[in-house]
Each structure stands twice: as C-alpha cells, then as structure tokens.
Chains A and B, each alone.
Chain A
Amino acid sequence: EAQVTQNPRYLITVTGKKLTVTCSQNMNHEYMSWYRQDPGLGLRQIYYSMNVEVTDKGDVPEGYKVSRKEKRNFPLILESPSPNQTSLYFCASSWRGNTEAFFGQGTRLTVV
C-alpha cells in the first residue's frame, strides 16, 4: 500500500529538549516536504527536498532542521523546541513538485 508514515503521532515535550519526527514514504517519490498546520493559517511549508541530499527552506524554517540521506526518509529535527512550535505537523511526498502530494497522518506536537 502506497503510504507516507510519520512517527510519533503524538508527542509532548519540554522546552529545549531535542526531538526528531520521522517520515518515510514507499512510493519512490523525489519530492518530500514538511508542513505545519495551525488554526486559521492553513498549511505552511517548513522545508522541502527535491531529491537525496537536496533540501531547501520553505516559508517557516526557523527552529527546524531536516536531512535527506535516503530517498525514502525525510526526518524533521527540532534542536531546541519552544512553545511556539506547538502545532500539527505533516510530511508529504510527491513524484515531482506539481503532481499529487501524499500526506502522512500527522504528528501533534506540544511543547511545554
């Protein structure tokens, strides 16, 4: 089954404690992206990757890091989380940028 898998689904952490949200896709897609979803603000792109070892900033990259060492994996790293990073996060993948994007189930992160 074609899918994008994110882990964990829910996470509560404390300010400053480094965390990683994993994302994996099994469709051999080149494009992968991370979005955060906040009420009234829609889906805002954090980082994207057009292929292995190729990553770039989206609209709201501050406080986040990513890496793309393998085609299927695109982890999101918060080195020092802060409460304003409390949000719902989605990973997505697509064959190319302007083709159908498949989204993961989401990770609800709370930073206290």
Chain B
Amino acid sequence: QQQVKQSPQSLIVQKGGISIINCAYENTAFDYFPWYQQFPGKGPALLIAIRPDVSEKKEGRFTISFNKSAKQFSLHIMDSQPGDSATYFCAASARGGSQGNLIFGKGTKLSVKP
C-alpha cells in the first residue's frame, strides 16, 4: 500500500514534443505529490508538486495532472527540450509521523533528441 508505481522506465521524445510520465498510488492518506528531477552526478531537486485539493498545477512548461478517484498523477512536459533530459521521480507522502516519509517511484529516464 506504500508503493508508488511509475511508468515508463525510459522515454525518448523529439525536441518540441510532449513528454508524459505517469504514477499510481494506493495509500489514500497521501496528500503531497512531488516530482523530482535529477541530472547525472547531482542530487534530485524538486521540480513541481501538487496537493489533492486541485486537479492540475502548471509551472512554465511543466504540468501535474492529478486524478484523486483513480489514484493517479502524471507529469507533462510541453515543448520538451534537450536540456530536459534527466531522470524524473514521482513521490508521495502523507501528513504526520512516519507517514511523512517520501515514497519514490523507480524513476523515468527521459531523453529529448534534438
């Protein structure tokens, strides 16, 4: 019940295309859903996050879509650029105590071809 399932494992997109990464969860207590971006040799860094009171959050070219009833959320990268090539992790956590721990998906390696 603590798992966050992420797909696909890898993704190749042409420059200017849309990249879509999906995640699914089981624990209905989760109330924080961040996406992290990791470049080679670096630690993950927060890209964008959403809480379940909204169905969508947009920051520049990055959008999170959230479907509470389906227990799914996804990251959309519009007009994908070669500089977006990185590994993306979805995560989830719940309020309070040990449930506050971030549970990560296994990651998606995105390659954007010029």
Contacts and interface: CB of A to CB of B under 8 A. Distances in A.
Contact of A97 (B36, B96, B107): B96
Contacts of A102: 46
B89 interface: yes
A102 B100 CA distance: 15
A36 to B, nearest CB: 11
Taking chain A's interface residues, is the majority helix, strand, or loop, or is none over half, making it mixed?
Answer: strand
Interface residues of B, number: 28
A43 B101 contact: no
B95 interface: yes
Taking chain B's interface residues, is the majority helix, strand, or loop, or is none over half, making it mixed?
Answer: mixed
Contact of A90 (B9, B32, B43): B43
Contacts, number: 68
Contacts of B100: 31, 50, 96-98
Given A43-B89, A105-B42, A50 B106 contact: no
B32 A98 contact: yes
Interface in B78-114: 89, 93-102, 104-107
Nearest to A42: B106
Given A40-B106, A98-B94, A98-B95, A33 B44 contact: no
Nearest to B51: A98
A42 B102 contact: no
Contacts of B89: 42-43
Interface of A: 4, 31, 33, 35, 40-45, 48, 50, 56, 58, 90, 92, 96-106
